[in-house]
């Protein structure tokens, strides 16, 4: 497979289809992830009320559930939206932000995974370890330390949960339990801006909305996102100008720049 051409094709398809991505997400990244979703060419909608989340989820092409600032009410809304989406064949992408940091967070993440059909699970290594019982330790909502290589964990958790698992970090790993893909795009400045992991989840959802294979969608989305970060870093003077340049790059990146830059490897 020529990954460069595939990333270009999927990026183009997102712009043509303009899929609606329903987010139930956290208070820190609501604005940023809406703008990231727009920048890649999809259409974001953020809706949280129990009275409407099922209706909104059914209008969407993908549903993002992100528990960064979860409350009991929001968890109920996530379950309603997730069930409605699955019943309608709409993929659910779950971002278990901060799983492992507190018992409530870990238990909630595990409950969501148990009660919903998750199509793609995206987290950093410590979050994925926490939800899957791999041990490890989460420090706040940042990546902590885990003892199992991330790629091996991605494959094992994908197999155990029967879902596509994406473990992001300096290198990202995507697996469905059989295939395992590594994406080496990205830049250290991503760790200096809040919500860049949540934004990656939104980009994955946009690509998944137009590509039925979750592993392909996840790898292509992360290569695209990481390459945009590389371009952005070249012109920025710190974290905030980097964030501005990242969104601009997500909006503009295409063609040869994209084809040459993607670093995707099947392991």
Distance of CA 234 to the CA centre of its chain: 24
In this complex, which beta carbon is closest to a copy of itself, that of residue 164 or of residue 189?
189
Going 59 to 62 to 66 to 72, the CA torsion angle's sign is: positive
Pairing of strands 180-183, 264-266: antiparallel
Q: Please, which residue, 68 or 123, has the CB nearer to a copy of itself?
A: 68
Query: Which CB, 73 or 266, lies closer to a copy of itself?
Result: 73
The answer on whether 46 is annotated among ligand-binding residues is: yes
Instruction: State in angstroms the smallest separation of the CB of 103 from a copy of itself.
Output: 7
The minimum distance between CB 97 and a copy of itself, in angstroms, equals 10
**Residue 157: which residues within 8 A CB-CB, separation 6 or more?**
121, 128, 131, 132, 134, 165
Phi, psi of 207 (to 5 degrees): -70, -40
Per DSSP, 192 falls in state G
168 is annotated as contributing to ligand binding: yes
Q: How far is the CB of 60 from a copy of itself (least distance, A)?
A: 8
Residue 122 counted as an annotated binding residue: yes
Of 147 and 192, which has the nearer Cβ to a copy of itself?
A: 192
Rounded least distance, CB 227 to a copy of itself, Å? 15
Binding site for a copy of itself (CB under 8 A): 20, 22, 26-32, 34-35, 38-39, 43-49, 51-52, 55-56, 59-60, 68-73, 98, 101-105, 139-142, 192-195, 236-241, 243-252
Query: Which tokens hold the place of 225?
Result: 């996102």
Determine if residue 192 is labeled as part of a ligand binding site.
no
95 and 116 in contact (C-beta within 8 Å)?
Answer: no
- Tell me whether residue 87 or residue 267 sits nearer to a copy of itself (CB atom): 87
46 beta partners: 23
In the complex, minimum distance from the CB of residue 36 to a copy of itself, in angstroms, rounded to a whole number: 10
Alpha-carbon dihedral of residues 203, 64, 6, 157, nearest 10 degrees?
A: 110
Binding annotation for substrate = 46, 195
Binding annotation for ATP = 122, 168
């Amino acid at each position: 497979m020529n990954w460069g051409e595939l990333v270009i094709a999927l990026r183009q398809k997102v712009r043509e289809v303009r899929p609606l991505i329903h987010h139930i997400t956290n208070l820190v990244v609501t604005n940023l992830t809406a703008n990231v979703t727009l920048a890649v060419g999809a259409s974001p909608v953020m809706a949280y009320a129990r009275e409407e989340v099922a209706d909104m989820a059914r209008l969407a092409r993908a549903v993002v559930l992100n528990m960064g600032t979860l409350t009991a009410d929001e968890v109920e809304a996530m379950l309603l939206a997730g069930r409605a989406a699955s019943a309608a064949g709409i993929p659910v992408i779950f971002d278990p932000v901060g799983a492992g940091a507190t018992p409530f967070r870990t238990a909630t993440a595990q409950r969501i995974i148990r009660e919903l059909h998750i199509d793609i699970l995206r987290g950093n290594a410590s979050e994925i370890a926490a939800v899957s019982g791999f041990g490890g330790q989460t420090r706040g909502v940042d990546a902590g330390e885990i003892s199992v290589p991330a790629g091996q964990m991605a494959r094992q958790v994908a197999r155990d949960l029967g879902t596509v698992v994406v473990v992001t970090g300096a290198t990202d790993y995507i697996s469905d339990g059989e295939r395992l893909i590594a994406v080496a795009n990205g830049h250290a400045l991503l760790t200096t801006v809040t919500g860049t992991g949540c934004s990656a989840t939104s980009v994955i959802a946009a690509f998944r909305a137009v590509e039925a294979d979750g592993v392909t969608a996840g790898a292509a989305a992360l290569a695209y996102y990481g390459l945009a970060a590389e371009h952005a870093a070249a012109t920025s003077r710190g974290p905030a100008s980097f964030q501005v340049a990242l969104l601009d790059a997500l909006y503009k990146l295409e063609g040869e720049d994209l084809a040459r830059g993607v670093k995707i490897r099947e392991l």
